[in-house]
């Protein structure tokens, strides 16, 4: 079967495309940037098409010649400049569906979202529902797929939920009782494959959901057990107004998936009967307890734990640097540093200048730890490592008795050096200009 696939560079779309290729289908992948597409072995090619520009039906029709089915998996969770719900979720898919009807494409699968119904309030759900309605109004057979929360090892949302599950304590609105019905990515892809191979007629709407609804807190606790993370997950009640205020602030954080609308979607819940999906798969969907494959449990657990503790470590280090600088600027008696300066043959104004200069450097490093651009992070970690290491050596030579101090002013530098070394090692490498990127397979 020849299938035109949209959204093949996305999380769900790429997984669907890979399953279709493994099943022997031939794909034409309509994507905004063909250079980003690499599906590995199989019969596929890229077609440059920007949904944000809303290609019309006339543009699509020649590209649909000889196509047996279309799978539309384009979707965004939040709008960004040039990427609107109206264009990507509604107007561009509607033009594609109109072209399918005009040229006689037999089957269309629309990947929508659970919650795109008559109770929808968010622009995300309303735009998805409008496209679903446009497809239902046409003559083409196929299905509208409504996935709940989709879990897959490489997904950004799965990484977020893994990190939440790894936390020692969470504060959630409604104490985490809002309903979700998580579904594994493998079940979603195999469900789409089943729909393509036996398309419903007339158009069907099927919720792709896990075997049963559960509260968000229950989902996270089950995910915690599946990841093999020891200890319970305590969940505190977060007042809903406070949660919504936090979501409004998060909307201004680059890369955040949380804003007032996604927060409202979470509070609404996300569950539906699983009967139709079970019949489609010929079995029950995977429960959360089997979401994490044994071979992936260890790396996913490490990723989840780092996702929780690395940001906390950065904040703790920043506060340490800043507080050390503030204390040195006057909270601690200046004469407390005199023995060290005397051993270095510094006294009077020179010693005071050295003290305040060191304090300024401490505060600067603290601020950079919190707010420096990504390209500066590795040098900042190296500067911290060098400063702490150099001071440790210097004080060891000049004031070796500090190693015997009961509060451990020098020995505490050792775990600090280890923590900073880990942060340096975990920073991603910057791309090398001109370095060849992987080309897509044909």
What is the domain partition of the chain in residue ranges? 2-292, 308-426
**C-alpha span between 72 and 10 (Å, rounded):** 11
Residue with tokens 């469900």: 191
Helices (H), 237-347: 240-250, 260-268, 275-281, 294-326, 338-343
Residue 318 CA to its chain's centroid (Å): 25
Strands 107-111 and 69-72: parallel
**C-alpha span between 61 and 29 (Å, rounded):** 15
Residue with tokens 């089957």: 107
Fold for domain 2-292? Rossmann fold (3.40.50)
The DSSP bridge partners found for residue 205 are 144
The pTM of the full predicted model, rounded to 2 decimals, is 0.84
CB distance 365 to 383 below 8 Å: yes
Q: How many CA atoms lie within 13 A of 287 on its CB side?
A: 7
The whole-number pLDDT of residue 164 equals 93
Cα angle at 97 between 95 and 103, to 5 degrees?
Answer: 100
Class of residue 124 by CB neighbours under 10 A (exposed 0-12, middle 13-18, buried 19+)? buried
C-alpha R_g of the chain: 28
pLDDT in tens, the chain (442 residues): 999 999 999 999 999 999 999 999 999 999 999 999 999 999 999 999 999 999 999 999 999 999 999 999 999 998 888 999 999 999 999 999 999 999 999 999 999 999 999 988 999 999 999 999 999 999 999 999 999 999 998 888 889 899 999 999 999 999 999 999 999 999 999 999 999 999 888 899 999 999 999 999 999 999 999 999 999 999 999 999 999 999 999 888 877 888 888 899 989 888 999 999 999 999 999 999 999 999 999 999 999 999 999 999 999 999 999 998 888 776 555 555 656 666 666 666 676 676 778 889 999 999 999 998 888 899 999 999 999 999 899 889 888 888 998 888 889 999 999 999 999 999 887 655 554 444 433 3
The whole-number pLDDT of residue 336 equals 54
Residue with tokens 């070796």: 400
The whole-number pLDDT of residue 408 equals 86
CA-based nearest residue to 426, from 435, 418, 415: 418
């Amino acid at each position: 079967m020849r299938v035109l696939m949209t959204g093949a560079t996305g999380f769900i779309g790429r997984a669907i495309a890979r399953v279709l290729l493994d099943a022997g289908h031939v794909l034409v992948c309509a994507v905004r940037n063909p250079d980003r597409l690499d599906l590995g072995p199989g019969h596929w090619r890229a077609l440059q098409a920007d949904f944000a520009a809303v290609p019309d039906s006339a543009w699509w029709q020649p590209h649909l010649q000889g196509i047996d089915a279309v799978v539309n998996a384009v979707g965004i969770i939040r709008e960004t400049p040039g990427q609107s719900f109206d264009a990507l979720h509604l107007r561009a898919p509607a033009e594609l569906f109109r072209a399918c009807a005009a040229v006689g494409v037999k089957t269309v699968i629309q990947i929508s979202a659970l919650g795109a119904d008559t109770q929808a309030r968010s622009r995300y759900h309303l735009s998805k529902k409008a496209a679903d309605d446009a497809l239902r109004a046409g003559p083409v057979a196929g299905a509208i797929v409504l996935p709940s929360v989709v879990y897959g090892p490489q997904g950004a949302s799965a990484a977020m939920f893994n990190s939440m599950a790894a936390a020692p304590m969470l504060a959630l609105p409604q104490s985490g009782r809002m309903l979700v019905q998580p579904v594994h990515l493998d079940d979603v892809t195999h469900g789409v494959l089943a729909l393509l191979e036996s398309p419903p007629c007339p158009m069907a709407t099927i919720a792709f959901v896990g075997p049963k609804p559960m509260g968000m807190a229950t989902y996270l606790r089950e995910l915690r057990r599946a990841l093999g993370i020891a200890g319970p997950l305590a969940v505190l009640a977060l007042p809903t107004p406070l949660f919504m205020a936090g979501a409004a602030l998060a909307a201004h954080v680059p890369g955040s998936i949380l804003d007032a609308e996604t927060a409202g979607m979470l509070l609404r819940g996300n569950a539906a009967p699983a009967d139709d999906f079970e019949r489609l798969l010929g079995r029950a969907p995977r429960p959360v307890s089997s979401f994490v494959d044994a071979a992936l449990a260890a790396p996913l657990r490490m990723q989840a734990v780092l996702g929780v503790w690395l940001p906390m470590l950065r904040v703790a280090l920043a506060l340490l640097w800043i507080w050390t600088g503030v204390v040195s600027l006057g909270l601690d008696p200046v004469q407390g540093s005199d023995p060290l300066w005397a051993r270095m043959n510094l006294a009077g104004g020179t010693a005071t200048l050295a003290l305040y200069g060191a304090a300024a450097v401490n505060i600067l490093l603290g601020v950079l730890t919190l707010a420096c651009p990504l390209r500066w992070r590795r040098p900042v970690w190296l500067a911290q490592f060098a400063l702490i290491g150099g001071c440790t050596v210097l004080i060891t030579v000049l004031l070796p008795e500090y190693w015997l101090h009961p509060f451990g002013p020098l020995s505490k530098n050792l775990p600090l050096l280890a923590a900073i070394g880990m942060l340096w090692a975990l920073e991603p490498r910057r791309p090398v200009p001109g370095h060849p990127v992987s080309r897509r397979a044909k």
